[in-house]
Amino acid sequence: MNDSIKFLLSEKEIPHTWYNIAADLKTPPPTVLHPGTFEPIGPADLAPIFTDAIIAQEVSTERDIPIPGEVREIYKQWRPSPLYRARRLEKALDTPARIYYKNEGVSPAGSHKLNSAIAQAYYNKAAGVKLLITETGAGQWGSSLALACNMFNLACEVYMVKVSYNQKPYRRALMQTYGAKVTASPSDQTAAGREILAQDPNSNGSLGIAISEAVEEATQHPDSKYALGSVLNHVLLHQTVIGMEAIKQMELAGDEPDVVVACTGGGSNFAGMVFPFIGRQLQGGRKLRALAVEPDACPSLTRGKYAYDFGDTAHLTPLVKMHTLGSTFMPRGFHSGGLRYHGMAPLVSHVVEQGLAEAIGVPQLEAFAAGVQFARAEGIVPAPEANHAVAGAIREALRCKESGKSETILFNLSGHGHFDMPAYIDYFAGNLIDYAHPEEEIAMALAGLPPIPAQK
């Protein structure tokens, strides 16, 4: 075993293709349905908001999707991201386990989100698009798309949930530094926004409203398209560079993970890290456990239902089969904006249903305690979302300690927390609580699921 702390690859070792797990799944994931007819949708239905190249990736069953040269060129700015052996954390936990983490926080925008943002900006630029429009909650996706658009000389507009817009001026300033136009949502710039403001002029906004505004505006201009930062197949695909690099880096380390851990909100950083490992297993390679860690406060995989549901609260998006808490589910105030989503990426849900991955929920205070322990040992302050992955890895390491097993744990540190310090401030001040939703509340949101004919 290699006694280094970090395992670096050269620029030349950035993968030349993304890995598409759809090629290796025995059972294909369920069809996507039209929100009006409940009939399967085709590529044409997505054309108003996505370019052809992105739609092609969304439905592809090819295993290896080439990464365009211009995308790889920009990836070189921070990729391959380093993989670390967390020796100081192991020591602090007094565990016989070996803990490794992939650090996606080295991306200039601060998280894994940039992997897909660069690809999406590239394909839209190539298709002659002039303006990309998106929404952002926590701000990691918005920052990434802002930078990506700037690099491809595309205009960028970000609808930022108003409560975040006001609470996170640093994040907003970052998007402005990258040249994006940032609008607090709900706004008076769209019909959807004006309708909400007419009902409640003081609305704090929500991700659902921001999506509606972004989608509406993207369809208004001939040269503009919409961009999404998680959930869909093409976004997950772009993130697989994480796991592909990690496989090579674990070889460098002379070690192999028994369990791979990542947090799940929409599912893209989890998929990016674990799909290449699961794919290797499906192709006859080494077996391992893939562990999704979600917040107890938004437990789609652990307490949701695997059912057809809308992706947004306004019910404009197609219907996808996924683990969902119901599109009317409102997660209670907790500090991981990136994990506040009622559903789960259909491909991640499918992989869990196929028994290829497992999921746990973690309370908020455990996640922050884990993040602080990690920061004190390794120096890096994780994003609140990434704290869930840290908590999952620490649970595994403590299980190893109890059982005396010397297993290998690998987790994805999806981003740094430099723009999320108010969450840490609240944590230290004792202002954070653990909140698990009562069964009745989840049941009520699930009762609102759309009535899909049984055969679909």
Interface residues with its own copies (CB under 8 A)? Answer: 4-6, 8, 10-11, 73, 76-78, 88, 106-110, 147, 150-151, 169-170, 173-174, 176-179, 372, 375-376, 378-381, 416, 418-419, 421-422, 424-425, 428
Q: From the CB of 422, what's the least distance to its own copies, in Å?
A: 8
Strand partners, 7: 83
151 versus 320: smaller Cβ distance to its own copies: 151
3-state secondary structure (DSSP) of residue 20? coil
User: What letter represents residue 216's amino acid?
Assistant: E
Tell me phi and psi for residue 258, to 5 degrees: -85, -30
User: What letter represents residue 270's amino acid?
Assistant: F
Q: Give the list of residues 6+ apart from residue 354 with CB closer than 8 angstroms, or none.
A: 25, 26, 27
78 versus 435: smaller Cβ distance to its own copies: 78
d(CA 341, CA 14): 31
Q: Residue 87 burial (CB < 10 Å; 0-12/13-18/19+)?
A: middle
Strand partners, 260: 290, 410
87 versus 289: smaller Cβ distance to its own copies: 87
* CB 74, CB 118: distance < 8 Å: yes
3-state secondary structure (DSSP) of residue 32? coil
d(CA 281, CA 284): 5
Q: From the CB of 377, what's the least distance to its own copies, in Å?
A: 8
Q: From the CB of 50, what's the least distance to its own copies, in Å?
A: 25
Instruction: Please confirm whether the linkage preceding 80 is cis (ω < 30° from 0).
Output: yes
Q: From the CB of 84, what's the least distance to its own copies, in Å?
A: 8
Which residue stretches of 343-383 are H helix? 346-353, 364-378
341 alpha carbon, distance to own chain's centre? 10
Half-sphere exposure of 320 (CA within 13 A, CB side): 24
Q: From the CB of 69, what's the least distance to its own copies, in Å?
A: 13
Q: From the CB of 142, what's the least distance to its own copies, in Å?
A: 14
What are the CA-CA distances from residue 211 to residues 200, 208, 315 (Å)? 18, 5, 11
Q: From the CB of 418, what's the least distance to its own copies, in Å?
A: 4
Q: What is the DSSP pairing of strand 83-85 with strand 6-7?
A: antiparallel
What are the CA-CA distances from residue 189 to residues 172, 197, 216, 231 (Å)? 18, 11, 10, 26
Strand partners, 275: none
Where would I find the beta strands (DSSP E) of 296-349?
305-310, 319-324
Q: From the CB of 16, what's the least distance to its own copies, in Å?
A: 16
3-state secondary structure (DSSP) of residue 255? coil
178 versus 341: smaller Cβ distance to its own copies: 178
Q: From the CB of 417, what's the least distance to its own copies, in Å?
A: 9
196 versus 413: smaller Cβ distance to its own copies: 413
109 versus 307: smaller Cβ distance to its own copies: 109
Q: From the CB of 372, what's the least distance to its own copies, in Å?
A: 6
128 versus 379: smaller Cβ distance to its own copies: 379
* CB 56, CB 382: distance < 8 Å: no
280 versus 416: smaller Cβ distance to its own copies: 416
d(CA 251, CA 245): 10
Q: From the CB of 382, what's the least distance to its own copies, in Å?
A: 10
205 versus 382: smaller Cβ distance to its own copies: 382
Q: From the CB of 199, what's the least distance to its own copies, in Å?
A: 31
216 versus 378: smaller Cβ distance to its own copies: 378
Q: Give the list of residues 6+ apart from residue 264 with CB closer than 8 angstroms, or none.
A: 270, 292, 293, 294, 300, 301, 339, 344, 348, 359
4 versus 189: smaller Cβ distance to its own copies: 4
Tell me phi and psi for residue 320, to 5 degrees: -125, 150
365 versus 375: smaller Cβ distance to its own copies: 375
